[in-house]
Amino acid sequence: MDKEQAAQLMKKMRDEFNKSRFVSTVAKERYVDTSYGKIRVLEYGFDSDKVKPLYVDIHGGGYCVGFPEMDEEINLFIKSKVDVKIISIDWPKAPENPYPIGLEATYQVVKHYADNAKKYKIDKENIGTGGYSSGGNFATVIPIKARERGDFKIKYHMICVPGVDISGDPYDKPGSDKILTGQTLEAIYLCYLPEPKYGKEPYASPRIAPKEMLRGQPPMLLIAAGRDPLYPQYIDYAAKLKEAGVDVEVFDSKNSDHDFFYNHNEESAKAKEVLVKFLKKHTKA
């Protein structure tokens, strides 16, 4: 497969995926200026004048597809259980916007809200990130970048079935191929990475980051699925964070696949309750 074939495959997948896109949302829509253009953001709970923690939701989609509305159900669930304000970011997609554009645009949106915490009535010292699949990559890399740049502080982060290593062979993945096939992963790598060498950068593949880069990461919740082809990489990443002294919690759904969190079954319900408990713990003043 070459880059053009990969782009066509992912664009076709995007078209199919967009057929399920919600026509409307209960969130307030805002467009935030970044160096990559205006980024669409959905806001939940911003009608409150009370200063609250901010939870940053970053949807998944293999760096190439998806939209924030797909997380609306879980964001409304979180909001009903935890006293937070929530933003969900419509980050720029590959192949039109390859690495690191989606990541950097997302970072700039979070920085915008941190810089304007007084305006939005959010607690600047109580911001957390949460992401699914490729969004999980962004959710764990943003705290690293924020600490290195000194722009803002991330208090905690949640990563659900995250992509944390795109440096290797996309076909060398155990587990189920019902959701993530080798061909799909190859297309994702080709679309997202300008060149394969970028997959070896720790901001693209935090699993291979040196320990000193991982030290100081905020507490993390990993939601894992045992049949997910990405399972070994993110379980290994969690172990490396622990070795670096990071507080790590893991919810491991041994018999679930990559998409289980979005299903309406017992395992997804358990995972959501674990997430709510984690957020309540870390959003306390």
pLDDT digits (tens, 9 = 90+) for 192-237: 999 999 999 999 999 999 999 999 999 999 999 999 999 999 999 9
pLDDT at 177: 83
Predicted structure pTM score: 0.96
DSSP codes, 223-273: EEETT-TTHHHHHHHHHHHHHTT--EEEEEETT--TTGGGS-SHHHHHHHH
Query: Is pLDDT of 285 > 70?
Result: no
Amino acid at 25: T
Domain borders along the chain are 3-18+27-283
Q: What kind of fold does domain 3-18+27-283 have according to CATH?
A: Rossmann fold (3.40.50)
**Which residue would you say has higher pLDDT here, 60 or 175?**
60
